[in-house]
Structure 1
Amino acid sequence: MFQLKDDNWEPVTVGESDMSVYRRGDVFAKCCAVSGVAELRDERDRAAWLAGTSLPGATVVDWLESPDGACLVTTAVPGVAGTDLPESAHFKAMRSLGVTLRELHSLPDCPFERPLASVVATAADVVRRGAVNPDFLTDEWRAMDPSELLDRVVAERPYFESVADLAVCHGDACLPNFFFDPETLEVTGLIDLGRLGVADRYSDLALATIQLSDEWSADPGPFLSAYGVPDLDQRRLEFYRLLDPLTWG
């Protein structure tokens, strides 16, 4: 694991990343071992690209690399994570989230791609290694062997490739990765961009809507209305909600 030489960094313990995260004032440092360098480099490049668009996010301050790993240093995004907003803020925040995700999906000229074939290949590797986290699965899916879940994904992949509606997607469109101004409830920034790339917009919509239900116990109607798609294809939502937890591990 890459080690920071400055002792003034404070560890950040929230989040589910297997990398080490630290904060010093208004900057964050995310450090990884050699095995995570490629993944962290992907996040660096995507954060730098997003910073050149109309959408807010962290700015890359520094990139450090050694035989032990690497460290990405970025500015802190102002505001609070979506998971930390009070219930009274949820309605307005949902509308802001819908507008922001639509803007992200409308960005042109993204140099990064996340084709479904590569995502399914990642899932196959995670399942092969027995690394699927059961906490990410529903009760129904936990009762099944992960290989059965993967078989279902593989069987349906050709259909979902044929109907894909491609857009610039966040790749992990969960509430902790969107920050909000606690007063105006406007989105102040997007974080954890390692999976950002051109993909089926449903891969984001599936995660965002299930997060609103699970984390906020909210009807996603205001979010969908602000996004501009009041009626969603449930089959596509369920496919991406099943695929996503198989890709972490």
Structure 2
Amino acid sequence: MSLFASLLPGDGWEPVSGGESATEVFRRGDVFAKCCGVAGVDELIAERDRVEWLAGTSVPGARVLDWIEWSEGAGGADGSGGARGADGSRGAALLTSAVPGVAAVELPWSEKLVAGFADALRAVHSLPVESCPFLRPLPDVIAQAEDVVRRGAVNPDFLREDVQAVPPAELLARIQAEAPEIAAKAAGDLVVCHGDACLPNFLFDPSTLELTGVIDVGRLGVADRYTDLSLVPAQLHDEWSVDASAFFAAYGLPEPDAQRLAFYLLLDPLTWG
């Protein structure tokens, strides 16, 4: 049995998937448990706080059901912290409600689904900026990319094919050189962004194609809307072999800024690692 599973309350937890930074996900009925070691606790806290915030908005999503930390101390998970694994490891678990529906990526392409994805992303972007306590300023995101590049942790599979052979340091230099111009453009166009606006993170009713929930919001925060929009064209092409013109028309931006799309599409994969 996984160490993480043994520390969760009760029995019957089934593994769903593994993840980065030793993160593991389990499910029991309508409850998900995302668990991590000590290195991932800060990120999991950030996700917990964002899930709680989003649950108080008009955008559907998961609800936080419990938060468990284990560290040196007691020897079992009681929901209030203080649990410790047999090897003395520390970590945490975020328990959330399951979100109904099917991920967009698992549904067949249709004009209605693409329009629904556009509506869902616009709904996130329409949340009041002044009420969102989470910020993702461009300098912070670039600093994150600098750290990933410095550690040699860039995953080339996340990059566009045309730049996979380019050294990450050179890609980062392009980002740094263009950042002032992008920041000036974005200054008046900051919205609440999902932060990882990918098709697997938007769930729909398979019959009505109505949005049922938004998940994986660990990067949610106020940022340039193109942080999210830049990820859409490649996804639509890769998953359904369609261009993004219908999406952008439904979103209400028939002529998107090509420079900002390209900038954030290059920046995003440098921040994972």
TM-score range, shorter chain: over 0.9
Distance 1:14 1:232 in 2: 36
AA paired with 2:150? R
| Structure 2: gaps (5+ residues) | 72-89
The AA in structure 2 aligned to 1:8 is G
Assess, with a 3 A threshold, how the Cα gap between structure 1 residues 121 and 58 changes in structure 2: closer, same or farther. Answer: same
Cα distance in 2 for residues equivalent to 1:18 and 1:198 = 28
* 2:217 aligned with 1:193: yes
- Is 1:213 matched up with 2:231? no
Residue in 2 that maps onto 1:246: 270
| SS of the residue 1:176 aligns to | helix
Q: CA RMSD in A?
A: 1.5
Q: Which amino acid aligns with 2:179?
A: R
Correspondence for 1:160: 182
Equivalent residue number for residue 93 of structure 2? 71
TM-score by length of 1: 0.95
Residue among 239, 255, 258 paired with 1:231: 255
User: How far apart, CA to CA, are the structure 2 residues paired with 1:209 and 1:111?
Assistant: 29
Residue 61 of structure 1 corresponds to 65
Aligned length: 247
What fraction of aligned residue pairs are identical, expressed as a percent?
62
Segments of 5+ residues of structure 1 without an aligned counterpart are: none
Tell me which of the two structures has the higher relative contact order, counting C-alpha pairs closer than 8 angstroms and 6 or more residues apart: 1
- Shift in CA distance, 158/222, structure 1 to aligned 2, threshold 3 Å: same
Relative to structure 1, is the Cα distance of residues 177 and 17 closer, same or farther in structure 2, using a 3 angstrom cutoff?
farther
SS of residue in 2 equivalent to 1:54: coil
Q: How far apart are the structure 2 equivalents of 1:45 and 1:58?
A: 12
Post-superposition shift, 1:222? 2.4
Matched residue, 2:168: 146
- Confirm whether residue 46 of structure 1 aligns to residue 84 of structure 2: no
Residue 186 of structure 1, CA deviation: 1.1
Partner of 2:126: 106
Q: Which amino acid aligns with 1:83?
A: V
Offset, 1:16? 6.7
Kindly report which structure 2 residues correspond to 1:168-179, keeping only aligned pairs within 5 A, or say none: 168-179=192-203
Shift of 1:221: 2.3
CA deviations over 1:92-111 (Å, ceiling 9, x no partner): 11111111111111111111
1:32 lines up with 2:54 in the alignment: no
Q: Secondary structure at the match of 1:167?
A: strand
TM-score normalized by the length of structure 2: 0.87
Partner of 2:74: none
> How far apart are residue 161 of structure 1 and its match?
0.7
Residue 18 of structure 1: how far off its partner (Å)? 4.9
* Higher Rg of the two aligned structures: 2
Contact between 2:201 and 2:216, CA under 8 Å: does it hold in 1?
Answer: yes
Question: Which moves more between the two structures, 103-112 or 166-175?
Answer: 103-112
Query: What is the DSSP-based 3-state SS (H/G/I as helix, E as strand, rest coil) of the residue aligned with 2:49?
Result: helix
Q: Distance in 2 between matches of 1:80 and 1:15?
A: 20
Shift of 1:14: 7.4
Letter in 2 for 1:213: H
Which of 108, 112, 132 aligns to 1:86? It is 108
Local SS of the residue matching 1:229: coil
- 1:88-142 per-residue CA deviation (whole Å, 9 max, x = no partner) reads xx32111111111111111111111000001000000000000000110122211
Distance 1:106 1:17, change over 3 A: farther
CA displacement 1:14-49 (0-9 Å, x = unmatched): 777851001110110000011101100111000100
